[in-house]
Homo-oligomer: A and B are copies of this chain.
Amino acid sequence: MEKDKLSTESIIKQAAMEVFLKDGFDGARMQKIADLAGVNKAMLHYYFSSKDVMFEKIFAEAMSDLVPHIEKIMNMDMPLIEKLKAFVRIHVKQQIENPKLAAFCFNEMGKNPERVLSQMEALEPMQRTLKLFFAQYDNEVKAGKLVDYSPMHLFTFIQGLIDYYFISKPFFESYLCPNHAELSTDFEENLPDQICKFLENALTIK
C-alpha cells in the first residue's frame, strides 16, 4: 500500500534540512545538498525554484518542529509546575532527537529576519500559549503557591534551561569538556530531571 520509494522531492527536502541545519543558509551549498540526496543539482531547481525558496520551506518546517505540542499541555487542567515539567520533558526529548534545531532557528532569525518572517504562522499557538501561561502564573502567585518573578523573565529562564545546553553543545564538545562525547548520552538522559528539580526549587514556595 505505502510507497516503498520516497519521492525524490522528499529525499531532497531531507537532504536540504540536514545541510541547512549544519551549515546555515550562507554556508549551505546546493551541490552538497544534491550530492547528499543522490541527485543532480538541476533537480533542486526543478522541485524548488531557488535556494531562497527551498530555505523558506525548510525553515518553516524546522520552526514547527521546534514548537511542539505545548498548546495541548497548556490547556490541560493541572498546576502550572506540572505543566512546566511536562513541557520540559517533551521539549528536551525533541532536541535530543534534533540537537541543532534551536541554534539554527535563532541564528537564521538573527542573520536575516526578513527571509524568515513570512513563515511565522507556526508561532501563533505559541503566542496564545504564552498568554495562558502568564494568566495561570499570575493566579498561582496570588494564591501564594509560586514565587513571584517577572513573568517574561521567567519564561526566558525556562526556555533557556531547556535550549541552552543544545545551543552551547559545540563549545562543550570542542573545548570545555574534551571527553564530552562519551558523557553526552548520560548528560542528556538526566537533563530533564535536573531541569525539573531546578525549576521546582526556584518556583515553589516551601
| Chain B residues with CB under 8 A of A32 | none
Is there a chain B Cβ closer than 8 Å to A97's Cβ?
A: no
Is A130 a contact partner of B176 (Cβ separation < 8 A)? yes
Comparing A7-15, A40-48, A190-198, the segment that makes contact with chain B is A190-198
Q: A24-B111, A105-B171 are in contact. Are A194 and B153 (CB under 8 A)?
A: yes
With a cutoff of 8 Å between Cβ atoms, the chain B residues found around residue A170 in the complex are: 106, 109-110, 113
Most chain B beta-carbon contacts within 10 A, residue among A25, A105, A164: A164
Q: Which of A49-57, A83-91, A154-162 contacts B (4 or more CB under 8 A)?
A: A154-162
Q: What total of chain A residues lie within 8 Å of the partner, measured CB to CB?
A: 58
Pick from B100, B117, B164, B173: contact of A164, CB under 8 Å? B164
0 or 1 for each of A4-32: is its CB under 8 Å from B? (1 = yes): 00000000000000000011111100000
How many copies of this chain sit in the oligomeric assembly? 2
- Nearest to A183 among chain B residues (CB) is B152
CB neighbours (8 Å) of A116 from chain B are: 174
Cβ of A164 and Cβ of B174 under 8 Å apart?
no
Q: Do A174 and B109 form a contact, CB below 8 Å, given A160-B160, A161-B160, A168-B159?
A: yes
One digit per residue, 1 when the CB lies within 8 angstroms of any chain B CB and 0 when it does not, for chain A 108-123 equals 0111010011001001
Most-contacted residue by chain B among A169, A171, A187, A194 (CB, 10 A): A171
Residues of B within 8 A of A176 (CB): 123, 126-127, 130
B171 touches A109 (CB 8 A): yes
Determine how close the nearest CB of chain B comes to the CB of A198; give it in whole angstroms.
5
User: Is A64 close to B, CB under 8 A?
Assistant: no
Whether the pair A167, B167 counts as a contact (CB closer than 8 A) is yes
Q: Are A153 and B110 touching (Cβ within 8 A)?
A: no
**Smallest CB separation, A148 vs chain B (Å):** 9
Q: Is A202 an interface residue (CB 8 A)?
A: yes
**Any chain B CB within 8 A of the CB of A206?**
yes
Chain B residues with Cβ under 8 A from A190's Cβ?
150, 153
